[in-house]
């Protein structure tokens, strides 16, 4: 196998290896999400990473369609890697309509794939945690999903953050009443432009809007003004909004629902770190949203982008089923959140010493060493043993670099007398001829 | 989005959705593996699912090469889905030689992908847990990897199992001395044939061997006889083996190493459920093994196939690096193990009732219900609330189907008096007008 020309050790652009430190941080976040989700009655499911491409395409928007990894498999099927967890979940729901107890509350943690431009904290392979409720088109379900995300975020977010809440129907109404005569495709382009507001600013959003047929600058500016203006108290001007929609009963109802949703989730909030705010400029780029939508930004790092988002998608399951199944859900961007934690806690923490390393001074004592290792592991101690079968000085250096607290040293003497020598790498203290029976009290 | 022609809800052949029950079982196994691995000083890393195809190809064998999912990505790169965790790990090691503390002990849990024929308990997407030690070519490292796998399996395996241990160099020696004049490619075909022994039986293995140029039936049968014969005690006939290899110093050393390995791992064994046995017919199909190899079978279901396997691969990292880095490792087939658990514990267990469901008798009491939900969650109770905003009878039916133990019922009365009604779905007992201050004592 060894050739002169060595294979590259590179990972693909937008992909990365995770060090032990990063992998442990991610597992910790995932475990916290599992525990808070199960406590709230959300049930875990999993779906394959690979799906028929027809399952995936045409559900997000034109941009995400282009980003899906598509290919033909060994059976010449058109397949693709999932780009989110929501679309496969809606297929799952349609496939299990006969057995799911509705409303069905599910969560799922896993990787998705998008061939988009990599940026800081944004990778082509990224881990998300999704919470969804299908089978209920109620304000209660909207509140439960957003509260659950706040509940999960509360224990892991590195600083204060705000969940900004809007409603797609209200936003569409405001777009249609400001920019008259838009077809659905043009309207979705306007939505995608508004979705970029936090990232690129108002002027750039207006520039994108002007590329849509029939949109004039004054209109575009007036729309942005409408979406971002607030009353003196900093809240939305609900009165003005209700009067704009006074002739439209459906929109009036949605405005009241949004107001009640934000008020209820604020009341239920369990964490000092999390605030909620109604915000008409929240759009969400994906095409499948039909009601409430939300995004979450770090208060001290708004430019970092959203760490959690979602919304109501009442039409998604009907791609797969004649039965209407309303749904609402949201994701926590686990990898984005970990990048945010890194951003805030940039100083590397010093790893505390712990555990016991068994050093072998004489190879004759090796099986004696393994027997002590077995005892340590039965006690539940973090424990390891020399595997190089080399010099004692190198074994100490290795134990030190691995941050072990104590080293048990074993030679012919120790083996003959069923004892051990033990050194504390933090204090430097060393004890000789400790009877094996006293092992437990010296390592815990 | 809703069209007359509905999209299929099918998963791809060899792929599947996981129900909540299966997803919880898998998470439980993964958590046990994490905990036992970290206790033994193995460190977690992760690598991307997608790699350059040149990283993956030519490392396993011709069969696995054909099974790799290969395609071109958006940047026209040749890429593939990983087919195991060992090859990407060897790339990782070569890429991090400057910073890894050697010997480096790592574990990794994740999915791999092979376009092979699906069978019971074998999927094209499968989860494995890998344990590897690189930077030590010692008997101690062989022992530590196999002991760790036994340690992890001990807490999760559904019945008794045996880890069968062999050595690739001894096996190659026996093949070469029985079937003379084999080239390396023919030898690897013989290895792949022997690897199928447990699955297809001796006659079928002989048939495959006869397809290799120059192999005669008598030779093939004599080889199989040599690999499967045992002394009266059921152990390997070590004396006979040593005499066969007496002229070859390297093989004599490997025979003694195998004998010592099996004896040491047996001595260190912590679980009654796990036994160890030297077995010359264990081959492992992959091409990269250079020393110890092992497979694990359930004693009561040998036909189920191997649930854990691995071996030493001293040449794998040198594909990527001029520095020689010896390695030894093994995998637990997490999904195979879960299928085995299902096979043994086929009777569905009755789900015990637990947790509290809040039913809303009057919509006016909804925000009062959400406030009680918040209190329950702060107490750490499994808790949920009605999301359908429908009739009370339906809410009870839902709570029952979700296996909740208690239902808290809230109406205008309860809200006005800051109290609640609570019904135990197991005993049928119902209490009215319990003061809210007594919530904790009624739900825990």
Mean pLDDT calculated for residue range B330-347: 85
Per-residue tokens: A89: 């979940």
Q: CA A49, A50, A56, A60: dihedral to nearest 10 degrees?
A: 30
Task: Identify the CATH number of the domain defined by range B356-443.
Answer: 3.40.50.800
| Closest chain B C-alpha to A68 CA, distance in angstroms | 9
Predicted confidence (pLDDT) at residue A401 exceeds the cutoff of 60: yes
Instruction: Render A191-219 in DSSP notation, one character per residue.
Output: HHHHHTHHHH-HHHHHHHHHTSTT--HHH
Report pLDDT digits (tens) over B237-271: 999 999 999 999 999 999 999 999 999 999 888 88
For domain A20-344, give the CATH number. 3.30.930.10
Strands (DSSP E) contained in B202-336 are: 274-278, 292-298, 308-312, 327-333
Q: Give the model's confidence band at A396: pLDDT under 50 very low, under 70 low, under 90 confident, else very high.
A: very high
Q: How confident is the model at residue B162 (pLDDT cuts 50, 70, 90)?
A: very high
d(Cα A186, Cα A220) in Å, to the nearest integer?
Answer: 13
Q: Is B78 on the interface with A (CB under 8 A)?
A: no
pLDDT band at residue A183, thresholds of 50, 70 and 90? confident
- Give the distance from residue A331's alpha carbon to the nearest chain B alpha carbon, in angstroms: 18
Cβ pair A288:B73 closer than 8 A: no
Instruction: State how far the Cα of A107 lies from the Cα of A293, in Å rounded to an integer.
Output: 18
- For residue A52, give the nearest of A280, A241, A282, A320 by alpha carbon: A320
DSSP per position, B385-413: E--S---HHHHHHHHHHTT-SEEEEE-HH
pLDDT at A60: 64
pLDDT in tens, B144-160: 999 999 999 998 998 89
Residue B3 pLDDT class (50, 70, 90 cuts) = very low
Over residues A112-122, the pLDDT tens digits come to 999 988 777 78
Kindly give the residue spans of alpha helices, DSSP state H, lying in A96-233. 139-154, 168-178, 184-195, 197-200, 202-210, 217-228
Task: Give yes or no for B75 touching A (CB within 8 A).
Answer: yes
Chain B residues lying within 8 Å of A101, measured CB to CB: 398, 401-402
Residue B253 burial (CB count, 10 A): 12
- pLDDT band for B213, please (50, 70, 90 cuts): confident
> Closest chain A residue to B271 measured between Cα atoms?
A378
- What pTM does this model have? 0.92
Residue B4: its pLDDT value, please? 58
A272 neighbourhood in chain B, CB within 8 Å: none
pLDDT tier, A430 (very low <50, low <70, confident <90, very high otherwise): very high
pLDDT, mean of residues A302-313: 91
Mind listing the pLDDT tens digit for each residue in B163-173? Answer: 999 999 999 99
Average pLDDT (A281-294) is 89
- Distance in Å from the first CA to the final CA of chain B: 46
Q: Cβ of B1 and A144 within 8 Å?
A: no
Task: Give chain B's mean pLDDT.
Answer: 92
Nearest Cβ partner of A49 from B19, B22, B111?
A: B111
Touching check for B184 and chain A: CB below 8 Å?
A: no
Phi, psi of B418 (to 5 degrees): 50, 55
Q: Indicate the pLDDT class of residue A368, thresholds 50, 70 and 90.
A: very high
Chain A residues in contact with B19 by the CB 8 A cut-off are 45
CA A275 to chain B, closest CA, distance in angstroms equals 16
| CA A58-A314-A185 angle, 5° bins | 40
B388 contacts A320? CB cut-off 8 A: no
User: What was the pLDDT predicted at A350?
Assistant: 64
Verify whether the Cβ–Cβ distance B18 to A138 is below 8 Å: no
* pLDDT score recorded for residue A91: 96
User: Residue A309, exposed/middle/buried by CB under 10 A (0-12, 13-18, 19+)?
Assistant: buried
Average pLDDT of every residue of chain A: 92
Q: Is the per-residue pLDDT at A347 higher than 60?
A: no
Task: Work out whether the CA dihedral B165, B127, B133, A358 comes out positive or negative.
Answer: negative
Tokens standing for B362? 């009057």
Question: For residue A405, how many other CB atoms are within 10 A of its CB?
Answer: 18
Instruction: Report CA-CA distances (Å) from B199 to A25, A344, B5, B9, B160.
Output: 41, 54, 44, 34, 19
pLDDT digits (tens, 9 = 90+) for A7-58: 899 999 999 999 999 999 999 999 999 999 999 999 999 999 999 999 999 8
Q: Do A133 and B387 touch (CB under 8 A)?
A: yes
Percent of chain A with pLDDT over 90: 78
pLDDT at B5 over 80: no
What phi and psi, each to the nearest 5 degrees, are found at residue B255?
Answer: -65, -45
Q: Indicate yes or no: CB of B40 within 8 angstroms of CB of A383.
A: yes
Q: In angstroms, how far is the first alpha carbon of chain A from the final one?
A: 46
B371: its two tokens: 């406030």
Q: Where are the alpha helices (DSSP H) in A96-157?
A: 139-154
Which pLDDT tens digit goes with each residue over A89-102?
999 999 999 999 99
pLDDT given at position A349: 61
Q: Residue A2 — very low, low, confident or very high, per pLDDT cuts 50/70/90?
A: very low
A-B contacts (CB, under 8 Å): 284
ipTM of the complex model: 0.91
Q: Hey, how many other C-beta atoms are within 10 angstroms of the C-beta on A213?
A: 10
A-proximal residues of B, 133-172, CB under 8 Å: 133, 135-136, 138-141, 143-144, 147, 151
**pLDDT at site A303:** 81
Q: What ranges do the domains of chain A cover?
A: 20-344, 356-443
Cβ neighbors of A136 (< 8 A, separation 6 or more) are A102, A103, A326, A328, B387, B388, B389
Element (H, E) at A433: strand A430-435
- Is residue A227 predicted with pLDDT exceeding 70? yes
């Amino acid at each position: 196998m060894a050739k002169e020309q060595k294979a590259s050790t590179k990972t693909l652009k937008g992909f990365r290896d995770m060090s032990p430190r990063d992998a442990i941080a991610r597992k910790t976040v995932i475990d916290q999400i599992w525990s808070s989700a199960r406590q709230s009655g959300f049930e875990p499911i999993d779906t394959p990473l690979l799906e028929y491409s027809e399952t995936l395409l045409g559900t997000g928007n034109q941009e995400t369609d282009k980003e899906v990894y598509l290919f033909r498999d060994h059976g010449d099927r058109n397949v693709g890697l999932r780009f989110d967890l929501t679309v496969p979940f809606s297929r799952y729901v349609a496939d299990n309509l006969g057995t799911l107890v509705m409303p069905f509350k599910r969560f799922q943690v896993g990787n998705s794939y998008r061939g988009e431009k990599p940026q800081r904290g944004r990778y082509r392979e990224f881990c998300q945690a999704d919470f969804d409720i299908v089978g209920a088109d109620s304000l209660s379900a909207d509140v439960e999903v957003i509260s659950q995300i706040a509940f999960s975020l509360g224990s892991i977010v590195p600083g204060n953050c705000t969940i900004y809440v809007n409603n797609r129907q209200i936003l569409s109404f405001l777009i249609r009443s400001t920019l008259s005569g838009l077809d659905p495709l043009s309207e979705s382009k306007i939505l995608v432009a508004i979705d970029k507001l936090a990232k690129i600013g108002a002027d750039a959003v207006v520039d994108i809007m002007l590329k849509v047929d029939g949109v004039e600058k004054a209109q575009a500016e007036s729309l942005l003004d409408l979406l971002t203006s607030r009353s003196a108290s900093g809240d939305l001007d609900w009165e003005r909004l209700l009067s704009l929609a006074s002739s439209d009963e459906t929109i009036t109802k949605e405005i009241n629902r949004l107001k009640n949703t934000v008020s209820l989730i604020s009341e239920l909030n369990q964490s000092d770190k999390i605030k909620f705010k109604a915000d008409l400029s929240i759009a969400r780029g994906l095409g499948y949203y039909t009601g409430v939508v939300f995004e979450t930004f770090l208060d001290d790092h708004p430019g970092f982008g959203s760490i959690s988002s979602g919304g109501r998608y009442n039409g998604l399951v009907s791609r797969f089923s004649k039965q209407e199944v309303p749904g609402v859900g949201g994701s926590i961007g686990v990898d984005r959140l970990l990048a945010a934690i890194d951003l805030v806690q940039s100083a590397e923490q010093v790893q505390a010493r712990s555990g016991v390393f068994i050093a072998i001074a004489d190879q004759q004592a090796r099986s004696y060493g393994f027997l002590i290792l077995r005892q340590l592991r039965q006690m539940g101690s973090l424990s390891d043993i020399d595997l190089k079968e080399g010099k004692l000085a190198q074994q100490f250096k290795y134990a030190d670099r691995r941050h072990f607290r104590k080293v048990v040293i074993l030679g012919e003497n120790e083996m003959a007398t069923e004892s051990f020598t033990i050194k504390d790498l933090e204090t430097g203290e060393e004890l000789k001829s400790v009877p094996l029976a006293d092992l437990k009290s010296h390592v815990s």
